[in-house]
């Protein structure tokens, strides 16, 4: 699981992108992918 994204949210994203994966390439980037995401309280 990506840090900061629930399994349910990850499943929703995957279902959306699966519709387009045959025609497009997707790249993931950012703190959630790199593993240094932190929740901050405001």
The domain limits of the chain are 1-25
Looking at residue 2, its pLDDT comes to 64
- Model confidence at 19: pLDDT above 60: yes
Distant-in-sequence, close-in-space partners of 37: CB < 8 Å, separation ≥ 6: 2, 3, 4, 30, 31
Looking at residue 29, its pLDDT comes to 78
Looking at residue 23, its pLDDT comes to 92
- Model confidence at 20: pLDDT above 60: yes
Looking at residue 6, its pLDDT comes to 82
């Amino acid at each position: 699981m990506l840090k900061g994204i629930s399994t349910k949210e990850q499943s929703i994203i995957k279902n959306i992108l699966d519709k387009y994966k045959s025609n497009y390439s997707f790249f993931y980037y950012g703190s959630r992918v790199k593993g240094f995401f932190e929740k901050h309280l405001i």
